[in-house]
Amino acid sequence: MSISWPLLLVILGTLFDLSEAKAFFVFGDSLVDSGNNNYLESTARADSPPYGIDYPTHQPTGRFSNGLNLPDIISEYLGSESTLPYLSPELQGEKLLVGANFASAGIGILNDTGVQFISIIRITRQLEFFQQYQQRLSSLVGPDQTQQIVNNGLVLIALGGNDFVNNYYLVPDSARSQEYSLPEYVKFLISEYKKILARLYELGARRVMVTGTGPLGCVPSELALRSQNGECNPELQQAGDLFNPQLVTALNELNKQYGSDVFVTANAFKMHSDFLNNPQDFGFVTSKEACCGQGPYNGLGLCNQFSNLCPNRDTYAFWDAFHPTERATRLIASQFMTGSTEYMNPMNLSTILAMDARN
């Protein structure tokens, strides 16, 4: 069968577009998991209503959100479709060129974080899957093109919050809190995180956005468990105050070591704090109460069909006991895109995209 010249141009153009598009790779926990835990025997799942109530299909997807999550919105900025969960059977063929989401709800920097959730993809395993992904992509486009796609791709990694909430502070006198004082624990976490990021670099990542922890003491779960009158828990706030500056220092050290701005700090603490401290300025009626949940601040138990559910998710900063609504996530994502160095250091995503377009 002969192919007409115009059709051949269309086919070649499509392949060129696919090869030139910036792939997107996501690692981390429930803030960025797009559904990997749906495929696991895990208790950390978001695969039942009302999760996904505002997603385009109005169905739960495994995202810990009423709608889109942070990777989805960054994909919009990239002009690309959302990356599929790595465990999704749909992730094959040309879909591999878009990238992959390796994140898994419940995990942390440490392998003992999240053991209560049973089956989760710990970060070491996520990095193994990234290697596996590259082998699969190499079968499709060859090793040279694979290396180029990975080197030119964008990476988002979100870790650290669970190491405090679901490990150090999970129960009074936890094993880790017996082993380390908080300052020592933070130093330990940072040293382990540096190893993870160095491994990402070894695997070819050259543009990595690294989120610090948000205001952990201000989430509805912690308000319900630890707050007397709605104030943020000082211990968990202190954890972020210690962790985030040391993470910035670690990323600067790695960038100096590699002689390039590989790692970009995303100041999630400030991004969240802006609208948590002044919710009305951002159109929220509350930044303390979750839209979906039970108990004080809707911060207890799981978000499910028996939960209280707010009628308008756009007026709530928090969707469930831990995670922001889609609208709050869009505010966070806008700082990723255009935020000053106070939010994204040494550069924001629009600067990264402009620089990479010129190279």
List, by residue number, the catalytic residues: 30, 320, 323
Q: How far apart are CA 78 and CA 141, in angstroms?
A: 21
- Locate 203 and state its tokens: 């695997």
Residue 187, number of CB atoms within 10 A of its CB:
15
Q: CA-CA distance, 346 to 266, in Å (whole number)?
A: 9
**CB count, 10 Å around CB of 59?**
11
Tokens matching residue 265: 């700090």
Residue 97 has which token pair?
């060129």
Note if the bond before 56 is cis, omega within 30 degrees: no
Question: Which residues, at least 6 apart from 219, have a Cβ–Cβ distance to it below 8 Å?
Answer: 299, 318, 321, 322
Q: Hunting for tokens 């990239």 — which residue is that? A: 78
H-type helices in the chain, by residue range?
A: 5-20, 70-78, 123-141, 143-152, 161-163, 175-179, 182-202, 220-226, 234-258, 268-277, 326-338, 349-358
Provide the CA 114 distance to its chain's centre, in angstroms: 16
Supply 11's token pair: 């086919």
